[in-house]
Amino acid sequence: MREWNLPGGRRLQIVRGDLTEEQVDAIVNAANAHLQHGGGVAGAIVRAGGPQIQDESNTWVRRFGPVTHARPAHTHAGKLPCRYVIHAVGPVWGSGNEDAKLAASVQGSLQVAGQLGLISIAMPAISTGIFGFPVERAASVILQAVRSHFEEDPTSSLETVRLVLFDSQAQSAFLETLENISDAKAEGNG
């Protein structure tokens, strides 16, 4: 695991593991706009957490309509070891303006967590699976979006953001990007 200090004494952690086993206040699901959780991260979350997650997701969409990049949904977590699942819609690679959409989905997830008064959140590398977003590029966008969130919302209740990565390629990409950002920041301050 690698940890990075964020504004306001908060922490960003990068770990390799299974998102469905994270003991945090909320996990982020890489969802589609209609919250149909059939495959990928979404399918694994519903299999581990139970049908309550899909039932609440269906109710959310009926009530509020499809989920957007900047406005994630949230449900209870069923049998998962967290309290909530925040359903963030990441961009499909090739859909246009992907970096901005990915940043909006990350920042939207952190805003929802703050609105719920949560202290800790874990998220995957949104859009890098079946949505095809290149992992190295996603790492830069996600890490910068997390940092920007705390610069823009210094009163957020969140203290820990954990990026839970499934494979070694994603872990390496995020760690390398984190090092580059840290080095650039150190050079800018020196």
- Can you give the pLDDT at residue 134? 96
Residue type, 24: V
pLDDT tens, residue by residue, 151-160: 999 899 999 9
Q: What is the mean pLDDT of residues 60-64?
A: 97
Measured distance CA(169)–CA(155) in Å, rounded:
34
pLDDT range class, residue 190, cuts 50, 70, 90: very low
Please tell me the number of Cα atoms within 13 Å of 152 on its side-chain side: 11
Domain containing 106 equals 2-189
Q: If you average pLDDT over every residue of the chain, what do you get?
A: 92
Q: The domain that contains 172 carries what CATH number?
A: 3.40.220.10
Beta strands in the chain (DSSP E): 2-6, 10-16, 26-31, 73-76, 84-89, 120-123, 160-165
- Per-residue tokens: 110: 């952190």
DSSP β-bridge partners for residue 16: 165
Q: How many domains does the chain have?
A: 1
